[in-house]
Structures are given as structure tokens and as C-alpha cells.
Amino acid sequence: MQMSEIPFGTTDWSAIDRTEHKGETGAAYWKTQNFGGIRVRLVEYTPGYLADHWCVKGHILFCLEGELHTELEDGRKFVLKPGMSYQVADNAEPHRSSTSAGAKLFIVD
């Protein structure tokens, strides 16, 4: 990832409007900022959330609160708890997320 032409700045996430993204069940609420070609998000999944698609976008994802279950299309499964992260490249391994209790994440993609 090349980060260029992004001046120093701060983000007050409490001032950013959130958008709703329905899952197969539950919903995800995104607060999004774009810096050049880099998208940065604060995402909250509701309890019972299950993604409605297999994602092929690359991410660096950090779990702030709750517990996130990530399933890869090949059947492998991973659990993130607060303080844990994962990273995956674009078009590398299709994945989808779910949570029974809810989760709050910081995502860069």
C-alpha cells in the first residue's frame, strides 16, 4: 500500500454520520473516511449479524469490542476478540463475517 498526498489530520469519529448496511441477518453500521485511495472505517455489527456475501476486498481489521467470527470460503474459521486483528489481500481468500453478540471494528482497506 502506497500512502501519498494525505496531509496530517485528525478524525472525530463521533462527528461522522453512519450508514446502514443490511446483512443476511442483522446490520452493519459504518462511519467512513476516505484518504486518497484508502478507505478507513469504524464499523459496528449488531448482535446476530451475518454478512450477505463473500467478500474479496483486502482489509486490515482490528477488533475493538465484542467478538467477530470470520469464515473463509474454503471452510476455515477464525475468531477475533478485542485487541486482535486480521489482514487479507484483495482477491486472496473470500471471507465473510458474523457475530452473535455484536462487534466494533476499525478497518483499513
In a domain, 108, yes or no: yes
Residue 107's domain spans which residues? 19-43+67-109
The tens place of each residue's pLDDT in the chain, 109 residues long, gives: 678 888 999 999 999 999 999 999 999 999 999 998 899 999 999 999 999 999 999 999 999 999 999 999 999 999 999 999 999 999 999 999 999 999 999 999 9
Exposure class string for 77-102: b at 16+ Cβ within 10 A, else e: eeebeeeeeeebeeeeeebbbbbeeb
In a domain, 35, yes or no: yes
Number of domains in the chain: 1
- Estimate the share of the chain in helix, then strand, then coil, as percent rounded to the nearest 5: 5, 50, 45
In a domain, 100, yes or no: yes
In a domain, 30, yes or no: yes
Cell of 23: 446483512
Task: Please say whether the beta carbons of 55 and 88 come within 8 A.
Answer: no
